[in-house]
Structure formats: structure tokens, C-alpha cells
A and B are shown apart, each in its own frame.
Chain A
Amino acid sequence: MKRKRYAIVFDTKKCLNCKACTVACKFENYVPVGDDSYRLWVTEMPLEGRFPVLRQEFRPSQCQHCENAPCEKVCPTGATFRTAEGVVLIDYDKCILCKACMAACPYDARFVSKKHDAVEKCTFCMHRVSEGREPACVETCPVRVREFGDLNDPDSTVSRLLNQRAYYQLKPEKNTRPRLFYLK
């Protein structure tokens, strides 16, 4: 069987900025509440145009699970590592809180977790995925902004979407090769 390559594809045009994903993530992953630490977030993109011709989009984001992950490279203890499926994870016990990864991450996806006494970030909800369930953010969304799946499976929703539609990635100039894709 082919090794899986997990990815998330976003259709941000549908996003309602309703914050269901951010709250679901907090419960699912025991992310502390009240100190503005988030594994994922929804950015209100700048309002374009002038009254009454206006445009605005909302862009959810989280750890990009880069194939060429700067965080992994700078980690002195090997706490940050990539699984066989390409999911970037942190071994909390190995993290010494040097924060080099936080500085290296072009996407500002990492924060210091009081709960783990370590740096933490999105894990693609691998604890759910390993049980055949979807990541919490994917599942709870009213309009299904995110699709999660295997890029190595040509029939997966993520593969089909990327085949059929134009997409972009965030900060391509950093050559990080993210596993997050945004449909145009």
C-alpha cells in the first residue's frame, strides 16, 4: 500500500468567519482558553474597494505541515519531527522551549503551551485521523471550507480538488512546500 501524504485544501470563498473551527480545535486539543493561543485561526482579509463597492474574504489557516519545514531544521533536540505521512509533530517531552522553531516558522503557527510546557501547534488531529475520523476543524465547519485527505490517492477529495481547480499556497518564496492548499 502506498504511503499516505496528508493535506488540507481550503475553499476560503465559502468561509463565514463563524469561528466554529477555532473553538472546536480548542476543545479537541485541550488548547488553553483566554490567553489568545490558537492552533488555527481565521484572518479577516483587508476590506477592498470603497463604499459601496466592497470585497472581503476570510482566510482560515494553521500549521502548513511543510515538506521542507524550517521548524524541523532548527530544532536542536529533534522535538519537531515529520511522520511518515508528512505530518509535522512535536514531541513535547523533548522540547526545551528554546523557541527557535517559533522564530523560524514563516506562518506564525506555533505558540508556547502552558499545558504541555512546550511549543505546540496543529497536529492535523492525528489522534482522530489514526482512528479514521476527520480533524475537528474539518468536521465542524458549517460550509465545509476545509477538505482533509491523502494526496497519494488520486480519488481523494483533496486530489480531485487540486486537479480540477486553480490553487495557491502561502509564502511560496520561502520554499517550504506546504501541505495546505488554497483554492482560487
Chain B
Amino acid sequence: MKENKKISRRKFLGLSAGAVAGLAFSPSIPTLFAASKKTYDYSILPAGKREYIASNCAMCVNKCGIIAEVVNGRLHKLNPNPEHIKSRGMLCAKGNAGAALPYSPDRLKTPLLRTGERGEGKWKEISWDEAFKYIAKNLADLKQKYENRSTVAFASTEGFQEEFYYYLVNSFGSLNTVRHTTLCLASNIQGWSSVFGVFPDADLLNAEYVIMLGADRAQSLITPDSVNFQRYKPEGQKLIVIDPRFTVTASKADRWYPIKPRTDQGFVLAMINVIIKEGLYNRQFVESYTHGFKDLEKMVQDYTPQWAEKKCEIPAAEIVKTAREFAAHAPRSVIYPGRRSSFYSHEVYVRRTFAILAAICGCWDTKGGVVPRSSIKLNTPEVSFPFFMQTRDRVDKESTDLLKDVVPSSVMCPMIGTGLPEDSCSFLSERDGSWLTFREAVLNDTPYPVKGFFCFKQNPMQSVPNTTKTIAMLKKMDFICVIDMQMSDTAWYADIVLPHTSYLEGWDPATGISGINPLVEFRQPVIKPLFDTKTMFEISGGIIREMLNIPSLWDDIEPDDLKNFKEDVVEGILNRPIQEYIKTQVSNYPGALEKLMNNGFFTVESKKPTYGATRTPGFRFKTKTGKIEILNERYKEFGLFPLPKYCEPKNFVQKSGTYRFLVGRTAWNTQTTTQNIPYLWEIEKENAVWINPGEAGKLGIVSGDYVWIKSRVGKQRIKALVTEKIRPDCVFYSNGWGRRSPWLSRVYKSGASEAEIIEDVLDSISGGTCLHETFVSITKA
């Protein structure tokens, strides 16, 4: 067909050489105008109505500003919003690829009910009415049977609609919620907060000296940092990157130190040693604002650069140089907090050490240092949910002996005076929970059985280490409901799957984004919904309305509670259009709604960065002493190290032929959610394991070979990439591959999954997961 067209055109050209002028007026052959060059018609979009609609991206955690270009109701492209203060006029590969999401043939289009065995892939399409009735009935059955609402657990990941997921959680009354935080940055938040009371941002725009340890901002994109650190880099700013891998970020650095994994704390302790010994710290700041400096001075005496050289395999002279430079540029020096910290079991102490370095140099709440975030408060309706009698406390909260299976002392090897609790997580977030502890509790039915599982846009099958245990956990459930846009690996094992509307087709509530420059965002539909999908706002409403038809679901509350709940939550919010909710949320700020509609976000003049609000006499930090706690008093009470003593496994020797496994991101994928999008899949069709050439030579492996990578909990087959970019003692691959859901058609079974091989090792202070505590062996496949 096409060939014919081409031939006929060729013939036409041959015949009509003399007739061009005459034909040029025919509107059916517009490109012949090209002959005159000046009148060339550049347009490529179809004729018709073109609209530009502002909203915000949802392809990862960053929520960058987008302007959707919609032609005749079809989304043509997502453009960056040039005025957006967080994304600063950029949109990454994933953000661009979002334009393909609504039209993906692989997306979930209607509610599905399992008809075969779990994981067998036999589904029946059902209506939303049937789905809501089915779910409400299962919730009622579970409550009747176990007489404990917390028997149903609710997993979710961050996102604007998560707010309404919690309407469902609180309407049922379970306290078992598990979020993504302990897979990502729980230890980072805990570590920094243990010193400053809050988790700060880095002021990269004004810093003169930046040290990034284990943060690949060039590939693991975080706005505004990934934009600022190159595009708006101040003249002369120095970047030091410390990472076992030569990351893209390392390629931008003034110096790269390929540190031995798990020793970052040693590097920074030695810096502190030099800075204190040479009197380079900020004496005045330390005296005015901090608690425990004298103890620190004593503790770091032994942590000399020479000592650190042996641990970190970085020359002592380099550590000394870095320490002096950091102090010389202070307070415009940043030791970068970053984001993911789910690396090692002692990670909270690592992050505490970073924070203490910032504290003694006075790089706090000042231009070019680390700065507390500010936020814009919304008038979000405060709703009260009924108080249910049949609700027990979180499964992962109680002090039990089940942690022995996941704390490092038993999993890896004994630690020297670990400073790591072995009976419960010291600082468990009530809302985030601790994924590993939660799963362990479910597997052991301790302290009570958890038999129902809801999962909103999270994918524990791929994101929680040791997939074998996750499958076992799912097997324990009487009922599993997954809400997602695509058939995730977890959805594949569900009983009922609900299709969520894409972020481009529905309304999302206003949400404050905190930072040095805080803002408020929302989302509006840029195209009409293509399929029979619903948002979490609508799904929660649908399930809750059905729940109200079942009296047994409300027999353990006061009648007044039920009446108020119906009036406030159901009638007041869920039965009304979400636009009214958004209107209320922003009602404190005149013109805010208009700004959201026109530009997707708004800011508040008074929230422009000011610096120094916490550097005033008498300011109380959110710590026990109200000071910046170099020595943490609560840690002392909890039996933890009050000062971050160097933590390392006792008598640990890495066996020859084993490699520490590292995992990380590429700039074109978000965790496990984007690999199947053709525009991104085209960039990388499967992941590959990085192996140092010396080691690859010993193993007889060259780039492109397939290898087996094996740990104590699983093995995966993957392509090898032999590269100097990694130390000989570790290997690396990117996350989100080796998928189990056949409905992720492009990436099903391609590449290797990290969750299948990473051992479940717990950071028992924050409840976090340690993704870099696994050793693997490699053999040619």
C-alpha cells in the first residue's frame, strides 16, 4: 500500500515538472508551496482547537509543573511550565512520557475480579457497583471474623490522592498503614531530625562547597536540586562526590572519591576530627545553639584521617583537604541530605554524622547551607472519623522477638556494641510503619493475624526486598484489593483490581509542597477520561457508601459518631464535587484558585526564603533540650548511641568471589512504575549489572554476556556491563526490572529484579530497609 503511494508520487513528480506553478494553488497539495521556501507551512499539528492547560506531573515524587498541549481533545504533548518555581521550567524524560500514559493499551480500564487462582491471571470485568459491594462485604466479613479492624492493612505511596485513601482507612478504622517511607528516606529524616529537630533542604543556589555522599542527582532526579546543581550552579561552586560508583553526578564533580561501601560515616567522622583538632569549627555557633560538643570532641579523637583511610580506602590527605575546604567555605558549605538513604543498618547514625558536621561548622539556616523547609498552610477541612472499639495497635509497633530475623546482628554478623535495638523500632512513624517489621509480623501472625490487604499505587512485590517473603505475606491474606493504573506485580496477585484515573484525566486536591521555596499545587483534567476509571476520591466515596449499607460495620461506635461521620465526611465531602473541596482548601488566599487554574500552582509572598529564623536567641529546636543535639538525649534514654560512634560489623571479612550489591536509579524510570511505557522502554529495554573489569576478567565475563546473580534469598539472570565505573568489591543494577506481571507486556521477565535478591535487613532505629547489605555471587549464565 505504502509502496504504491510512493511509486504513484514519483510518477506524479516526473510528469508534472512543468505544471508546478499551476498546481500550487490547489489546497490539497499544500507542501508544493515549499518550492517558494518563504511560504512553507511549518505546522505539524492537526487543524482544529488547540488548548494549553496547566497542571502538575505525577510520574515521580517531584510534582513538576506541566502545560498540557491538547489538540481537538487529544493530548499532543506535555510541556514544562516555565514559571514553576520547583521544576524551574524543565520536564524530564518520564514527565514527557506521561503524555502516553492515558493512551497505553496496557492500562487498567475497568474493575477486575479474579476468577482463577491468585497469580493465574484469570479475570472477570465487573462494574464499579459490583466492585464496591464486593469490597464492602469483604471488609464486613473480616471485621466480623477477627473482631479487630486492624486485621485489614492499607499500603500506599505518596501522591495527592493518598489523602482520600486515608478517608477509606479511617472509615474502616485500621491502624495498620504502611507507606513507602521506610523503603526510601526514613533513616535520613530520623538522622537529621535527631540533630536539628527537622529534615532540611540544601541551599545549592548559594552554596560555595557541596559534598554529595551516595546521591546521584544527575540521574535520580529531584527538583529543584537536579536543576540547580548544574543549571544554576554559582560561579566557582565546588562539588565533591563520594560514591562507590562513578555516577553521572560524579562525572560533574571536581573530585570523586570511590569510597568503600558502608564506610561513609568514617569519612565524615574523620572530617569532624580534623575540623575540631585544627579549630576550624564555628565556635560561636556551637556555643549558642548546640548541645554535647565537648562529648563529640572526645569521641572523635580516635577517628583520625589515617584511621579513616583504612576504613574508606580514600587517602588520609584527601580527607584532610576536604575537611579544611568544607570548613573554609562554611557557612556556605553543604553536606547534602538528599533523599533516599535506605542503604545500611546503621544509616541513622550516618545521617546524624552528616548533620553534626553541618552543625559544628554553623552551616545551618543560612545562605548556602542546609535550611529548614517552610510550607504554606491550607484550609483543608479537618474531619473526624468515628472512634472504633474493635481496633488494635499497629502490628509492627509492639515490642516482640520477631525482629531477630531481620536485624543485622543475626542476619549479617554481630556488630560491635551495635547501638541498634533488637526488639522494636525506636522511632516508628505511626502512619508510615516499617515495611520489613510489618511483613515479619504478618508472616508470624504476631501479635494478631492480618488477613486483609489494600494497596494503593504501591508495588511491594517489586519494592520490598525478598520477594519470596512478600508472596508468603500475600498468601496469608483472605482478601487483597489493589488500586492502580496498570497491572502491577502486586495487582497480579490480587482478588480485585480497581483502575485508577490517570493524573491527566482527573482533579487532585490542593497540596502544599514544602521547601526553601514552598508552593501549593493541584491537578485538573487536561483531557476527558478515556476509560471507566475512578480517582481515589471517588473510590473511597463508593466503598464507604456501600459500607454504610452494612450495619455490622458500625456496631462498635457511638451512634452520634456515625451521625456526625455521615454528615461531615460523607455528605460534607465525599458526596460533593471535589472542586468544592479544593475551593475550601485554598480559601485563605485570595486569587489562589485562579492561579491554580491558570498556572497549576501558587506561592505566598511571605514565604520567600528569609534564612535565620531559627538562629535567634531563645529559639527552641524540636529536640529534648531545645538545642541542636550533637548529643541526643532521647537516644540516650532509648539505649542508642547518643553520639554517632562508628558502626561496623564485628570481624567482618567480605568473602572472595562475593560482591556487595548496590541498587539505584536512572533518569528515565521511576521505581517500578514506568518501565513499560514505550517511550522510556526504548531508552533501556532491560537493565544490566555493572562489574569492574578486573573482576569480570576473573569470572570470564565480557559486556553483553548474561550472568546469574545470586544472594541468600534469590537469584536473577541479567546482562553484564563491564565498566571501570564501579569498585571491584561491589556490583550494581538499576531498579524496577524482572517483572512478574505479564500485563506489563514490554518488560515482563526482562532484566533482573532487585527485590528478588536483596535480603531483608532492617535499620531498627527508623524502621527503614537496608538495600545495600546484601552480598551476591556471579556466574556466567
**A positions within 8 Å CB-CB of B:** 13-14, 16-20, 22-24, 26-30, 33-34, 36, 47, 49-52, 54-58, 77-78, 81-84, 89, 91-94, 96-97, 114, 117, 123, 126-127, 129-130, 136, 139-144
For chain B, residues 688 to 726, give those with C-beta under 8 angstroms from any C-beta of chain A: 692, 723-725
Chain A residues, CB < 8 A from B231:
14, 142-144
Bound: A116/B35 CA distance, A: 18
Chain B residues, CB < 8 A from A27:
76-78, 96, 99-100, 679
Does A140 contact B90, Cβ atoms closer than 8 Å? Answer: yes
Contact of A19 among B93, B223, B252 (CB under 8 A): B93
Chain A residues, CB < 8 A from B32:
93
Does B93 contact A20, Cβ atoms closer than 8 Å? Answer: yes
Q: Which residue of chain A has its CB nearest to the CB of B249?
A: A16
Most buried by B among A22, A27, A142: A142
What's the least CB distance linking A53 to chain B, in Å?
Answer: 9
Chain B residues, CB < 8 A from A47:
246, 723-725
Say whether chain A's binding surface is mostly helix, strand, loop, or mixed: loop
Does A56 contact B692, Cβ atoms closer than 8 Å? Answer: no
| Known A24-B77, A89-B34, A136-B79; further 4 A-B contacts with Cβ < 8 A | A20-B93, A96-B9, A142-B227, A143-B230
For chain B, residues 586 to 617, give those with C-beta under 8 angstroms from any C-beta of chain A: none
Chain B residues, CB < 8 A from A89:
34, 40
Chain A residues, CB < 8 A from B9:
93, 96
Chain A residues, CB < 8 A from B668:
18-19, 23
Closest 9 CB pairs of A and B: A18-B667, A142-B90, A127-B42, A143-B230, A16-B218, A23-B96, A143-B231, A91-B34, A19-B93
What's the least CB distance linking B85 to chain A, in Å?
Answer: 15
Does B37 contact A30, Cβ atoms closer than 8 Å? Answer: no
Does A83 contact B40, Cβ atoms closer than 8 Å? Answer: yes
Does A18 contact B80, Cβ atoms closer than 8 Å? Answer: no
Does A51 contact B92, Cβ atoms closer than 8 Å? Answer: no
Does A96 contact B724, Cβ atoms closer than 8 Å? Answer: no
Bound: A19/B223 CA distance, A: 16
Bound: A142/B681 CA distance, A: 21
Chain A residues, CB < 8 A from B655:
none
What's the least CB distance linking A89 to chain B, in Å?
Answer: 7
Contact of B31 among A13, A83, A91 (CB under 8 A): A91
Does chain A have a CB within 8 A of B10? Answer: yes
Does A20 contact B90, Cβ atoms closer than 8 Å? Answer: yes
Chain B residues, CB < 8 A from A77:
13
Does B96 contact A24, Cβ atoms closer than 8 Å? Answer: yes
Chain A residues, CB < 8 A from B413:
none
Bound: A33/B678 CA distance, A: 7
Bound: A26/B79 CA distance, A: 13
Residues 275-307 of chain B: 1 if any A CB is under 8 Å from the residue's CB, otherwise 0?
A: 000000000000000000000000000000000
Bound: A136/B91 CA distance, A: 10
Given known contacts A117-B2, A139-B79, A17 and B218 CB-to-CB distance under 8 angstroms: yes
Contact of B256 among A19, A54, A91, A139 (CB under 8 A): A54
Bound: A52/B255 CA distance, A: 10
Residues 100-141 of chain B: 1 if any A CB is under 8 Å from the residue's CB, otherwise 0?
A: 100000000000000000000000000000000000000000
Does chain A have a CB within 8 A of B248? Answer: yes
Given known contacts A27-B96, A33-B679, A54-B246, A117 and B6 CB-to-CB distance under 8 angstroms: yes
Bound: A80/B358 CA distance, A: 59
What's the least CB distance linking B659 to chain A, in Å?
Answer: 15
Does A52 contact B258, Cβ atoms closer than 8 Å? Answer: yes
Chain A residues, CB < 8 A from B91:
20, 24, 140
Residues 1-21 of chain B: 1 if any A CB is under 8 Å from the residue's CB, otherwise 0?
A: 010011001100100000000
Q: Which residue of chain B has its CB nearest to the CB of A19?
A: B93
Most buried by A among B13, B219, B227, B250: B13
**B positions within 8 Å CB-CB of A:** 2, 5-6, 9-10, 13, 29, 31-32, 34-35, 37-38, 40, 42-45, 76-80, 82, 89-93, 95-97, 99-100, 218-219, 221, 223, 226-227, 230-231, 246, 248, 250-252, 256-258, 667-668, 678-683, 692, 723-725, 727
Does B92 contact A20, Cβ atoms closer than 8 Å? Answer: yes
What's the least CB distance linking A18 to chain B, in Å?
Answer: 4
Given known contacts A51-B258, A52-B258, A144-B231, A93 and B29 CB-to-CB distance under 8 angstroms: yes
Instruction: Provide a sorted-by-A list of 27 A–B residue pairs whose CB atoms are within 8 angstroms.
Output: A16-B221, A17-B248, A18-B219, A18-B221, A23-B668, A24-B91, A27-B96, A47-B724, A51-B727, A54-B250, A55-B251, A56-B251, A81-B34, A81-B37, A83-B40, A89-B34, A91-B31, A91-B34, A93-B32, A96-B13, A117-B5, A127-B43, A130-B42, A136-B77, A139-B80, A140-B80, A143-B227
What's the least CB distance linking B106 to chain A, in Å?
Answer: 14
Chain A residues, CB < 8 A from B246:
47, 51, 54, 56
Chain B residues, CB < 8 A from A58:
248
Contact of A33 among B44, B218, B682 (CB under 8 A): B682
Does A30 contact B90, Cβ atoms closer than 8 Å? Answer: no
What's the least CB distance linking A49 to chain B, in Å?
Answer: 8
Does B679 contact A23, Cβ atoms closer than 8 Å? Answer: yes
What's the least CB distance linking B289 to chain A, in Å?
Answer: 36
What's the least CB distance linking B728 to chain A, in Å?
Answer: 8
Q: Which residue of chain B has its CB nearest to the CB of A24?
A: B96
Q: Which residue of chain B has its CB nearest to the CB of A129?
A: B42
What's the least CB distance linking A80 to chain B, in Å?
Answer: 11
Does A140 contact B44, Cβ atoms closer than 8 Å? Answer: no
Q: Which residue of chain A has its CB nearest to the CB of B692?
A: A51
What's the least CB distance linking B367 to chain A, in Å?
Answer: 22
Given known contacts A57-B251, A127-B43, A127-B44, A142 and B226 CB-to-CB distance under 8 angstroms: yes
Bound: A33/B80 CA distance, A: 21
Given known contacts A96-B9, A117-B2, A23 and B219 CB-to-CB distance under 8 angstroms: no
Q: Which residue of chain A has its CB nearest to the CB of B38?
A: A84
Does A92 contact B31, Cβ atoms closer than 8 Å? Answer: yes
Does A20 contact B96, Cβ atoms closer than 8 Å? Answer: yes
Bound: A91/B37 CA distance, A: 10
Does B42 contact A126, Cβ atoms closer than 8 Å? Answer: yes
Chain A residues, CB < 8 A from B78:
27
Does A16 contact B248, Cβ atoms closer than 8 Å? Answer: yes
Bound: A20/B246 CA distance, A: 21
Chain A residues, CB < 8 A from B100:
27, 33
Does B42 contact A52, Cβ atoms closer than 8 Å? Answer: no
Chain B residues, CB < 8 A from A52:
256-258
Chain A residues, CB < 8 A from B35:
78
Bound: A141/B88 CA distance, A: 10
Does A16 contact B5, Cβ atoms closer than 8 Å? Answer: no
Chain A residues, CB < 8 A from B2:
114, 117
Q: Which residue of chain A has its CB nearest to the CB of B32?
A: A93
Chain A residues, CB < 8 A from B681:
34
Does B13 contact A16, Cβ atoms closer than 8 Å? Answer: no
What's the least CB distance linking B664 to chain A, in Å?
Answer: 14
What's the least CB distance linking A156 to chain B, in Å?
Answer: 18
